[in-house]
Amino acid sequence: MQAALRYHYGSPDRILVTDYPKPVPKEYEILIKIKATTVNRTDCGVLSGSPYIFRFFVGWPHPRTPILGTDFAGVAEEVGKKVTKFKVGDKVWGFDDNGLPSQAEFMAYREDANLMLIPEGISFKEAAASAEAAHYAINFIKKVTFTPTSRVLVNGATGGIGSAAVQILLHEGREVTATAHSKHVQMIKELGVKKVIPYDKEDFTKTTDRFDIVLDAVGKSTFEKCKPILNEKGVYLSSELGDGIENLYLPLTTSIRGGKRVIFPLPTDIKASLAYIQRLLIAGSFRPVLDRSYPLEKAMEAYTYVAAGKKIGNVILDLENGKEEVFIPS
């Protein structure tokens, strides 16, 4: 089978798309024919082995498996003899933030792992794009206690995490303000956000509005800069460690001091996130934003694009049709 491989940690130019032995499912495993998988920011970490501590989960000193990937959507092609929950022909999707050999034509995966049925009417691309960023968005949101009047600002609503976060917050009935580049303001409004601040024209930290929560989904701001727009007991959450890994120690110091504080969530419980997002997909309350797709052979190009930090929502490796397509008008 064809697979996107790297034998050592490094940059996208290490990726080789080549022939690799097709996996044989064990008794509790399902052989999945992969139809779509995303290239996301976690994949970039799995590729580069950075931050370094990540290598203890993904493989040290070398990657545990040469095949890249973290998420997938596909069809059960074969099931091991002890598999009970899935059958041949089931459409399935899943995710593991410590890496999965999913950027390949086939992958074997345990039935009790992070595996779900794709809801009716959801494409393989949409299913694959509903995993990674949505999981992190859910983990940020569940760390905060909301009241019915809580006001939230999402910085970087065009990113994978940001575009998932605004949809989940709106589904939960929160009042959301977001930031995005002016060329994407309309797109974020179409997700249901009433007020979008174009970050290239206005500094959101100078707004006269006040918020109970600032979710810095792209990690481009800081607690210090956001303090003036936070209410007295307001919370700043960031997807990044920040300068001098400040978002690791600020949660402690700010909680001792009282008042405005920082939360840095460590994402857990992928199964719960997938189950939650599946309910939203079925209810029509969540649709992942798709930026573009690449055929598997262009995995190196896809990683280079994603690593630049400019993607809008999600980038797909399309193994169903092998198509290179742009879904977001530039």
Ligand X SMILES: NC(=O)c1ccc[n+]([C@@H]2O[C@H](COP(=O)([O-])OP(=O)(O)OC[C@H]3O[C@@H](n4cnc5c(N)ncnc54)[C@H](OP(=O)(O)O)[C@@H]3O)[C@@H](O)[C@H]2O)c1
Could you give the CA distance from residue 109 to residue 119 in angstroms, rounded to a whole number? 19
3-state secondary structure of 292: strand
Euclidean distance between the first and the last CA atom of the chain, given in angstroms as a whole number: 34
DSSP 123: -
Closer residue to ligand X in complex, CB, 31/270:
270
Per rule CB under 6 A, count of chain residues that contact ligand X: 26
Q: Would you count residue 220 as binding ligand X (CB under 6 A)?
A: yes
Site string for ligand X, 78-97 (x = CB under 6 A): --------------------
- Closest approach, Cβ 83 to ligand X, in A, equals 31
Residues 4-43 that bind ligand X (CB under 6 A): 40-42
Confirm if 314 and 323 have CB atoms less than 8 A apart: no
Contacts for 247-252: CB closer than 8 Å, 24+ residues apart: 247/223, 250/223
**Shorter beta-carbon distance to ligand X: residue 267 or 288:** 267
Q: Which is nearer to ligand X, 3 or 218 (CB)?
A: 218
156-175 residues near ligand X, rule: CB under 6 A: 156, 158-162
For residues 127 and 281, give the distance between their C-alpha atoms in angstroms, rounded to a whole number.
9
- Residue 55 in contact with residue 9, Cβ under 8 Å? yes
Could you say whether residue 181 binds ligand X (CB under 6 A)? Answer: yes
Closer to ligand X by CB, 225 or 227: give it.
Answer: 225
Q: Does 305 bind ligand X (CB under 6 A)?
A: no
Q: Does 218 bind ligand X (CB under 6 A)?
A: yes
307 by DSSP, 3-state: which? Answer: helix
Q: Which of 133, 237, 277, 302 binds ligand X (CB under 6 A)?
A: 133
Q: Name the residue nearer to ligand X (CB basis): 118 or 157.
A: 157
Eight-class DSSP state of 119: P
Q: Which one of the spans 47-55, 83-91, 308-316, 322-330 is the region binding ligand X (CB under 6 A)?
A: 308-316
The two three-digit tokens of residue 4, written as one number: 């996107």
| C-beta of 98 vs 285, nearer to ligand X | 98
Q: Between residues 54 and 86, which has the closer beta carbon with respect to ligand X?
A: 54
**What one-character DSSP code corresponds to residue 50?**
-
Choice from 239, 254, 273, 293 touching ligand X (CB under 6 A): 239
Binding letters toward ligand X, positions 49-68, x by CB under 6 A: --------------------
Query: For residue 57, what are the contacts with CB-CB under 8 A and spacing of at least 6?
Result: 98, 99
Token duo for residue 47: 């590729």
**Residue with Cβ nearer ligand X (162 or 234):** 162
Cα three-residue angle 259-260-264, rounded to 5 degrees: 125
Residue 319 structure tokens: 């193994």
Which of 61, 76, 73, 68 has its CA nearest to residue 98?
68
Chain residues binding ligand X by CB under 6 A are 40-42, 133, 136, 155-156, 158-162, 179, 181, 199, 217-220, 239-240, 267, 309-312
